[in-house]
Amino acid sequence: MKLLNTYEDRDEAEKAESLITGEKRLASERDGTETIYNLFGEATWGNLYKLSMFNLPELQKLVELKNKNLPYDQSRYKEIISMLRYAAKTFELKIPDHWL
């Protein structure tokens, strides 16, 4: 399990935990008077998508347009792919070829 995301709101953290699949755990920690919630789980593209991380829902729309040979925001697409390269290294994932 890896740290997937951190939340300041307990309800938001519990909702995120309910969205992902596989082994998962929500841990809280106090920093002075504030409590933060760390969501641990399996680092998969599916789980990251369900958490709306790394603009994956937006990438899905851009890839659909690209595959249909329709106009799409190429600079935004490149920006998201660049961010995904970082995420892939961080979470030890491979970016699916059909996204590239």
Q: Which tens digits make up the pLDDT trace of 79-92?
A: 999 999 999 999 99
* 26-42 per-position pLDDT tens digit: 999 997 889 999 999 99
Find where tokens 């925001």 sit: 73
Find where tokens 């790394």 sit: 54
In the chain, which ranges are continuous DSSP H helix?
A: 10-19, 45-50, 56-67, 74-91
Lookup: tokens for 75: 């600079």
What is the helix, strand, coil percentage profile of the chain, to 5? 50, 20, 25
Lookup: tokens for 59: 């990438």
Q: Where are the domains of the chain?
A: 1-51, 54-100
